[in-house]
Chain A
Amino acid sequence: MQSSENINTHVPYWLMHDPAVYRREQEHIFSGPTWHYLCLDTELPEPGSFVTTYIGETPVIVTRDEQGELHGLINRCRHKGALVAIESCGRTKTLRCLYHGWSYHLNGALRLVPFEKGIEGKGGMPPDFDKHDYGLMPVRLANFHGIIFGTLHTATQDIETYLGPDMCAHIRRVFHKPVVVLGYYHQVMHCNWKLYAENARDSYHATILHAFYATFKLNRLTMGGGLVVNHEGWNTMNYSIGSSLQEGEYDPKELRAVMADVGLADPSLLNHRLEFADRITVAIQSIFPTCVHQQIYNTLAMRQVVPQGPGKTELHWTFFGYADDDAELRQLRLRQANLIGPAGYVSMEDGVIGELVQRGTTGQGMEERAVLLMGGSKVESVTDSRANETTVRGFWQGYRDLVGVLQ
């Protein structure tokens, strides 16, 4: 390795395949001092509401108790370890394990162990068994403007410090009034979770891989915009500015020629309402390690990366609007949903591109490295060009901070 090379600019292929690396990440990243998107506050509307999710591979429940307080809990009975909540969401008075009926309050406290005192004084738990010692393990939560984050580590920084000032400001910009969930997508990708984490931070690929953008002159690297990094690169945002979806002339210097004979039979798909005074039309915000917050025109969504082994990742999309959307704006969001998700005109390719890297990096040469030198080797905010991989290098900075340098 040359002296100018480091893990931020040169990433070994085998990091995407090695089971030992994967286990190390579960310990150092997912159980480490990191915040993870869990759900939205609005998905827990009343006492008894619960949502099940994951931090890495760890099953997690978020509940709202009778007093309205939110609780994060490991979804694992303290007896044998079975899941105590199975459904993705619902309402309940208690969390009861199906196996032997151990039952927990919504704050995680153990309330009932069947046959704790045995039958007619025979059997049962020992006299010194104390139910206080066997509550569901807690997960620390942070509710930042209606986004519920969770962490498995005791020393994780407070959420605002962790996010950084620009990230906080951008979340406030979108979560400035009550939101409502309009639906979910769940997408299975046959690649390592880090390949999706890179992809979401990568502004370089957007107008090349996602040909829909270039074909209809939508989001070009030559448009105004920038790349913002906070927290030494852990958290990043790519954004572009344009007043309308159809604004701007095609620049012949662009990489892909617009196909003159390709048009939209129904251009109403591109109708768009400017919602934010800063005129930002596309903003992809990545919170290390697994949370993505997107605004693509009028589509607003949270994406959660759930690793399921070295070669498999599930992406959970939560698509939302505002509670006070007028009927036309709501329809615009739902029509523009054609742009995003597993069937999205500008995002379906992300479902397969990580798999192509995964399949391309096996066998001979796995010790070779991916190259992330676009725009140099620094991790810093950039406002004059998005032909730059600074945000992807930022991910690897966070990775190195937690996992160390694996060579």
Chain B
Amino acid sequence: MISFDLERRVRHLHERYLRIIDDDRLEEWPQLFMPDGVYEVTTRENHARSLPLALMSCHGRGMMQDRVTGYRRINVFEPHRYHHQLSGFESEQLADGSVRTVCGFLVVRTMHTGAISIFATGAYYDVVAQDSDGELRFKQRTVITDSRQTDTLLVIPL
């Protein structure tokens, strides 16, 4: 069991995360992680077979900032944005005071042409902890997609 107040703060972090992505404020995204936090996106297929390959894997904020740079400045793709929905939140407090959570997600992708599609569903497997400034941040966010397929490309983090 975690306290009502702690659960409220963790859920607030989750909501901020998707607000930042869905509002295209990606520059703020690395700040939701600890400086040495880990962000990975993989598929249920790879995860179930204990295969370590990820679609995206960022160890530390620097690699997350580089994903933002790729998205803003370097990579070439058709403009699109996401809309996230969260569902099925579970949490438990670990011995060191950090919180492990699982939360389902659905991402609808809207292309600049107006085409709308379900881009991904899956779950976030997180470890959240209090940083030195008192803020809750992700020590780890592992995104596991239900489908093994990626439609076209993945450039905006899920």
Contacts and interface: CB of A to CB of B under 8 A. Distances in A.
A343 B155 contact: yes
B41 interface: yes
B46 A343 contact: no
Query: Which of A212, A265, A268 gathers most chain B CB within 10 Å?
Result: A265
B66 A269 contact: yes
B40 to A, nearest CB: 10
Interface string A225-269: 000000000000000000000000000000000010011111011
A272 interface: no
Interface string A258-289: 01001111101100000000000000000000
Nearest to B67: A338
A159 to B, nearest CB: 28
B74 A343 contact: no
A252 B48 CA distance: 48
Interface in B65-106: 65-66, 69-70, 73-78
A264 B148 CA distance: 29
Contact of B73 (A209, A259, A334, A351): A259
A337 B41 CA distance: 12
Interface stretch (A16-24, A65-73, A160-168, A184-192): A184-192
Contact of B150 (A211, A343, A345): A343
Contacts of B73: 215, 259, 262
B52 A212 contact: no
Interface string A319-343: 1000000000000001101100111
Interface band, chain B: 35 or more
Given A335-B57, A348-B75, A266 B63 contact: yes
B150 A188 contact: yes
B75 A349 contact: yes
B21 to A, nearest CB: 15
Nearest to A335: B57
Interface residues of A, number: 38
A189 B152 contact: yes
Given A265-B65, A266-B60, A343-B155, A182 B52 contact: yes
Interface string B120-158: 000000000000000000000000000011111111000
Contacts of B51: 181-184
B15 interface: no
A387 interface: no
A397 B56 CA distance: 37
A263 B76 CA distance: 17
Given A259-B73, A355-B152, A343 B53 contact: no
A176 B55 CA distance: 27
A352 B63 contact: no
A126 B55 CA distance: 55
B108 interface: no
Contact of B76 (A181, A183, A209, A319): A209
Given A182-B52, A343-B150, A348-B155, 13 more contacts: A186-B150, A188-B149, A209-B76, A212-B75, A215-B74, A264-B69, A265-B69, A334-B52, A335-B57, A338-B56, A342-B55, A342-B153, A352-B78
Interface of A: 88, 181-190, 209, 211-212, 215, 259, 262-266, 268-269, 314, 319, 334-335, 337-338, 341-343, 345, 348-349, 351-352, 355
By Cβ-Cβ distance, the 10 closest A-B pairs, closest first, are A183-B53, A266-B62, A342-B150, A265-B62, A343-B154, A351-B153, A183-B51, A348-B153, A265-B65, A343-B55
26 contacts: A88-B45, A182-B53, A185-B150, A186-B45, A186-B149, A188-B149, A190-B152, A212-B70, A215-B73, A262-B74, A263-B69, A265-B66, A266-B66, A269-B66, A334-B52, A334-B53, A338-B56, A338-B57, A338-B58, A341-B55, A342-B153, A348-B155, A349-B75, A351-B150, A351-B152, A351-B153
